[in-house]
Amino acid sequence: MKFINKVVLVTGGSRGIGKAAAAAFAAEGASVIVNYHTNKTAAEETLAQLNPAGKHMIYQCDAADSAETEKMIGHINSVYGKIDVAIINAGIAITHKIAEVDFNTWQDTWAKVLGVNLIGPANIMYLTARAMMKTGGGKIVAVSSRGAYRGEPDEPAYGASKAGLNSLCQSMAKALAPYKIYVSAVAPGWIVTDLAERYLNGPGGEDIKNQSPLKRAGTPEEVANAILYLASDGSEYTTGAILDVNGASYFR
Ligand SMILES: NC(=O)c1ccc[n+]([C@@H]2O[C@H](COP(=O)([O-])OP(=O)(O)OC[C@H]3O[C@@H](n4cnc5c(N)ncnc54)[C@H](OP(=O)(O)O)[C@@H]3O)[C@@H](O)[C@H]2O)c1
C-alpha cells in the first residue's frame, strides 16, 4: 500500500482517466478527493467503487473557476490538513475547424478550452503548491496529451492548451523543487473514455487504433499506472518529465 495516509486530489476524477486514477490511488491506501463538474451520479459511482480503506469524498467544482477551486482547496485543507498529491486531470476537447467556424465561435472556444485545460491547472497548481509548501512537499501530476506535440488541426485550442500545460509543469518543476514539490505530466495518446468515444467509434475509429502498433487505443488504467508511478515516493528525479502513454503511436 504505497499511498497509505496520503491525501490525493484528482480533478475530473468522476470519469475516464481521472476515475481510473482515483481507483488506483485508493487501492494503494490513499484518501481520495474526487472532483467533478456536472455529473454527480458518475462521481457518486466512482466514490462507491473506491477501496474503503481511505477517507474519500466527492467535491463539485468547475476547475476553470478560480474562486471555486480556491474554496475546494481550502475545504480539503480543513478536512484533511494537507494535500500530498494533486492529479490535475480535468480537461475538455472541442472541435473548431478554422475553415468552418465563425470568429465568435473561434474566440469562445479558445477561451473555454484554455480556461479548463491551462488557466485552471495553473490556478490549482498555485493553490496546491502553496498548501504543500506548508506541509513539507508533495507531488503534482498533470494529464497532458500527445496533441501538444503532433499538431491538432481540428482542435487547435486543445493542442495549444496541452503544450502550455507541459511548459507550465516544466517551469513549476524548477520553481518548486526547493520546496520538495515534484511536478510532472503524462501525455496520453488515444484512450478509451467518453472524451474519445465519438472518434474511436466514428468512421475513422479503426485508423485511430492503427496509429499504434498495438492496434488499439489505451485504457484509462494504463494511464493511471503511469500517474501512480510519477506520484510515488522514489520518483522524485522524474520531476519535469512528460511521460508518453501512447502505445508508440507518436515519437517526439
Ligand atoms: N481520452 C483521451 O483519448 C485522452 C488523450 C489524451 C489526453 N487526455 C486528457 O485526459 C484528461 C481526462 O480526459 P478523459 O478522456 O478521461 O475525459 P472524460 O472521460 O471526458 O472525463 C472528463 C472528466 O473531467 C471532468 N471535467 C470536465 N470539465 C471540468 C471542469 N470544468 N471542472 C471540473 N471537472 C471537469 C469531468 O467531470 P463531469 O463528469 O462532472 O463532467 C470528468 O470527470 C483530459 O485532460 C484530457 O485532455 C485524454
* Domain at 61, CATH number: 3.40.50.720
Query: What number is the average pLDDT over the span 45-68?
Result: 98
β-sheet bridge partners, residue 34: 10, 58
d(CA 155, CA 174): 30
**pLDDT more than 90, % of the chain:** 99
Kindly report the pTM of this predicted structure.
0.98
| Residue 129 counted as domain residue | yes
Q: Is 89 in the pocket of ligand 1 (CB under 6 A)?
A: yes
Q: Tell me, in angstroms, the distance from the centre of ligand 1 to residue 2's CA.
A: 25
Mean of pLDDT values over 128-153? 98
Question: Can you name the residues that pair with 183 across neighbouring β-strands?
Answer: 140
Distances in whole angstroms, Cα of residue 146 to Cα of each of 84, 108, 158, 200: 27, 23, 11, 16
When divided into structural domains, the chain yields a total of 1
Active-site annotation holds for 237: no
pLDDT of the residue at 165: 99
| CB 42 less than 6 A from any atom of ligand 1 | yes
The beta strand positions in the chain, using DSSP E, are 7-10, 31-36, 57-60, 85-88, 138-143, 181-188, 242-245
- Residue 144 CA: nearest ligand 1 atom is 7
* CB of residue 14 inside a 6 A radius of ligand 1: yes
Task: Find the mean pLDDT for residues 40-60.
Answer: 98
**Catalytic entry in 149, 158, 179, 182:** 158
Confidence of residue 187 (pLDDT cuts 50, 70, 90): very high
Per the structure, the complete domain to which residue 22 belongs is given by: 7-245
Q: Averaged over 212-233, what is the pLDDT?
A: 98
Reported confidence tier of residue 156, pLDDT bands at 50, 70, 90: very high
242: phi then psi, degrees, rounded to nearest 5: -120, 105
| pLDDT average, residue stretch 47-65 | 98
Average pLDDT estimate for 208-237:
98
How long is the chain? 252
- 175 located within any domain: yes
Q: How confident is the model at residue 173 (pLDDT cuts 50, 70, 90)?
A: very high
Q: Residue 1 domain-assigned?
A: no
* Residue 250, domain member (yes or no): no
Alpha-carbon distance of 247 to 250, in angstroms, equals 8
